[in-house]
Structure 1
Amino acid sequence: MEKQKADEYLLKVAEDQKKQIEKLNAKIIELEKQLDVKQEDLIEKEEALQHYEDLNDILIIKERQYFDELHGARSELLNFIKDKPRRGKFGVKRMGELDRTPFLEAMKKKYNEEEAVKRASELSSLWEGYLKDPDWHPFIAILVEGQEKQIINDEDKRLNGLKNEIGEGAYKAVVTTLRERKEYNASGQHIVPELWNYEQGRRATLKEGVQFLLEHTTIVD
């Protein structure tokens, strides 16, 4: 009887182990199916990602081509009109060039015409020299929406001296020149011609340039 009980116990243990193994095998099969599905999904996503990356590369190339074409057209337009007198609101502005007019206006308030011209020329030349001074940094950095931005330092002694001694007009002319050189030329040493909308005080669009040509160019059959 004891042997029979032992046999029955061993048989029960074997059956339980068989059931556990069957459950494990079923679980393994289920996991393998899920893995296959995930792998197929992953392959599809990788293919889609590759497609978007290829498309993005194509768009970048196209964007560069369009930029080069627009830049070339803008350069051709600028070269065409840069030596011609300004007509109306459209023309070429020399970005980073100091406007001497406010200096002359300030000197006319103190001196006769001849002396005013002389002193304005001297002051303008002096400030053009300051503008080329590599050791002068009248800008400070601030954060605007998490991005660093360079602005004119309101406490710059040289600029404040100009405002107090010569006037607001000369001060604004120098500040405008500083900003233009900062925007158009990082080294700040060169004058950069730009298509300009004088009426609105901004960079002219290529469309405005084309309209200007159509209005001021004589077409011969």
Structure 2
Amino acid sequence: MQQVERDYYSGIVEEVKNLTDEVEGKKRKLECWSKELDERQALTEFDRQKLDEEKKIKKMREKEAALHKILQLEKELDAKQKLELEIKSLKAKIQMMKHLGNANNADLQKKLEVMTAELGQKDEDLAYVESLNQTLIMKERQINDELQEGRKELIQVLKDTLSSTVRTTIGIKRMGEIDEKPFLNTFKQRFPPEEAQLQASTQCSLWQQYLNNPEWHPFKIIYYAEGNSEIQEIVDEEDERLQNLKLELGDDIYMAVVTALKELNEYNPSGRYVIPELWNFKEERKATLKEVIAYIVKNIKTLKRKR
């Protein structure tokens, strides 16, 4: 009886062990499958993002190529003014020849016929050029609208991928936003570190509010030359508020405020709020679409990791 009982329990233990081994084996297999599925899903997501980025870049390049073609055609249309002058001169010559001597003069008649035919051809050319010019103007407006949309898309892409604390060659500059560094540098010379930070932030915020107020417009109009219709709007350095700023807080803060003021007046004179812009920080100018696309293509792996 004892032997039977031992054999019975031994069989149970062996069966439990076998079942445990089987469960562990299935568990390991499931973990492998799960890991493989995760890797495939990650790879699929990466491929999808890569495809989306490539589509956006291709679209931008197509728009840029179209704009380049438009600009080339516009250069060709500069011949319009020359053509108009030629027509005017030809008409004057024809009128002059009609008033010359004998109308039966065969040579004179032949010259008149040739010049009249040439005038007719030039009139046709001018009509074609004017029609083409109107078409190109409409096409250029359409392309410009599409390029602006493209810039907005790229701004959003860089917003999602770039850290606001890291300065890169190509990035986003907030046009019309006052640089706080001159404030901080100035107040560090006047206050302890913690108070300097507070004073700098407070004063910078205060002047940002001044800039965003459309009722304050410290600009004046100047003409390039007397009798010239071309005008330019510049900062009025005699504005009382700006003069007090320069006197109380110094040249560096004054220039930071004036720079932001000029940017607002250029990018958003009516709304007077900060506008994001694609920027080439190395050359301190607006970045072209070509530069931004090249930067994204070159750094696409790094940008994806940040994203």
Which segment is superposed worse, 127-136 or 192-201? 127-136
State whether residues 99 and 173 of structure 1, in contact with CA within 8 Å, keep that contact through their aligned partners in structure 2: yes
Q: 1:71 to 1:126 in 2, by over 3 A?
A: closer
Q: 1:151 to 1:188 in 2, by over 3 A?
A: farther
Match of residue 79 from structure 1: 156
Query: Where is the helix percentage greater, Structure 1 or Structure 2?
Result: 2
Give the structure-2-normalised TM-score. 0.56
Q: 1:88 to 1:129 in 2, by over 3 A?
A: closer
Output aligned runs, 1:37-76, within 5 Å: 37=113, 43-76=120-153
1:109 and 2:186 equivalent? no
**Paired residue secondary structure (2:231):** strand
**For 1:84-114, what per-residue CA distance to the aligned partner results, in whole angstroms no more than 9, with x for missing partners?**
2245211100101122221122111111122
| Structure 1 ranges of 4+ moved more than 4 A | 27-30, 36-43
In the alignment, the residues of structure 1 paired with residue 266 and residue 189 of structure 2 have an alpha-carbon distance, to the nearest angstrom, of 33
Give the unaligned 5+ runs of structure 2: 1-101
1:96 and 2:180 equivalent? no
Count how many residue pairs are aligned between Structure 1 and Structure 2. Answer: 195
**Paired residue secondary structure (1:135):** coil
In the alignment, the residues of structure 1 paired with residue 124 and residue 274 of structure 2 have an alpha-carbon distance, to the nearest angstrom, of 50
Report deviation, 1:28. Answer: 8.5
Amino acid paired to 2:176:
G
Q: 1:121 to 1:218 in 2, by over 3 A?
A: closer
1:119 and 2:202 equivalent? no
**For 1:163-185, what per-residue CA distance to the aligned partner results, in whole angstroms no more than 9, with x for missing partners?**
12112221111001110001001
In the alignment, the residues of structure 2 paired with residue 111 and residue 56 of structure 1 have an alpha-carbon distance, to the nearest angstrom, of 63
State whether residues 94 and 194 of structure 1, in contact with CA within 8 Å, keep that contact through their aligned partners in structure 2: yes
Give the unaligned 5+ runs of structure 1: 1-26
1:195 and 2:284 equivalent? no
Amino acid paired to 1:208:
E
1:167 and 2:244 equivalent? no
1:130 and 2:210 equivalent? yes
In the alignment, the residues of structure 1 paired with residue 206 and residue 151 of structure 2 have an alpha-carbon distance, to the nearest angstrom, of 34
1:139 and 2:216 equivalent? no
Q: 1:61 to 1:132 in 2, by over 3 A?
A: closer
Give the structure-1-normalised TM-score. 0.75
In the alignment, the residues of structure 1 paired with residue 119 and residue 186 of structure 2 have an alpha-carbon distance, to the nearest angstrom, of 73
Report deviation, 1:39. Answer: 6.8
**For 1:130-187, what per-residue CA distance to the aligned partner results, in whole angstroms no more than 9, with x for missing partners?**
2133332211111126311011112222112111211222111100111000100121
State whether residues 95 and 181 of structure 1, in contact with CA within 8 Å, keep that contact through their aligned partners in structure 2: yes
1:206 and 2:289 equivalent? yes
